[in-house]
Structure 1
């Protein structure tokens, strides 16, 4: 299991525990648990901030490709790259043959275009498959959690190749 999956699983477990406490009806226990989560997040965030501060931006570069580290840096507002750079990093990490068309920061929607299939049908226009979409969404969740939705459009196939050759020789007409 990847570090990103482990992190998502841990986050889901925290949510489950908080939901169970909320369902119990004990408001004081629920409020205390939520406060504990907030305090721990602040504590670990402060420690991570101190680490990044002491390492400096240049020393972080080798860590930015790691999905868990990138996710933690982004979660705590410490990632040195802007959202567009992190989106590019996520697309490379997912290995999907897509081209970014734009990111709407107001809605969180990322627009992508898949590579067109070739005339022989063996192109790489697979950006619309469920597996590719899942890989993209996983990578984006780690590297650019600001992306809350993905719209994928398929590029039009290239026009057919026009073959131009010489005309066959015809016998000359005799008048």
Structure 2
């Protein structure tokens, strides 16, 4: 489909927005725009050398668009790992259940670090398939220090 054809379809949808079927026309308009952007992105992805595309995958907005149009070259596990690598504190993927959308994550060290909201935000663009996060926390170690100084007996 050419941009001109898409433009004509978009104009047709806009003309319908004035009528009673505005919601249907709006949804049609969104589908047409998604198709246009998806076709353009597909051509761009095909034209880019793999090394150039790989450098762009860390950009959250581009990664999100590639996922939305089913053009992202990485599988969901790789995208989850990529998202977790952007966090200030190490968090590893323990498991992902595609049936429930649940990612079980493990902090690799204790500390205050990033919260669950930070993790969910990182995952939102790179792996929208993740709909729930279970965060395993590392066991707290007992801190053993020197014996207190001996007092008078």
TM-score w.r.t. the length of structure 1 is: 0.66
Task: Specify the alignment match of 1:149 in structure 2.
Answer: 132
Q: Offset at 1:153?
A: 1.8
Q: In the aligned structure 1, how far is the partner of 2:20 from the partner of 2:141? A: 61
- Which residue of structure 2 lines up, in the alignment, with residue 44 of structure 1? 37
Match of 1:110 among 103, 106, 111: 103
Counterpart in the other structure of 2:51: 58
Q: Give ranges in structure 1 of 5+ residues lacking alignment.
A: 1-20, 118-123, 164-175
Q: Which secondary structure does the structure 1 equivalent of 2:85 belong to?
A: helix
Verify: 1:140 aligned to 2:123, yes or no.
yes
RMSD (CA atoms) = 2.2
Q: Kindly tell me the number of residue pairs found equivalent between the two proteins.
A: 129
The structure, 1 or 2, with the larger RCO (C-alpha pairs under 8 Å, 6+ apart) is 1
Q: TM-score by structure 2 length?
A: 0.75
Residue 95 of structure 1: aligned partner: 88
Residues 112 and 27 (structure 1), Cα distance of their counterparts in 2 relative to 1, 3 Å cut: farther
Name the SS of the counterpart of 2:94 in structure 1. Answer: strand
Deviation string, structure 1 residues 26-50 (Cα, Å, up to 9, x no partner)? 7611000001001101110100000
Q: How does 1:52-91 map to 2 (within 5 A)?
A: 52-91=45-84
**Greater C-alpha radius of gyration:** 1
Aligned counterparts of 1:60 and 1:80: Cα–Cα separation in 2? 9
After the TM superposition, list the runs of 4 or more consecutive aligned residues in structure 1 that deviate by more than 3 angstroms: 158-163
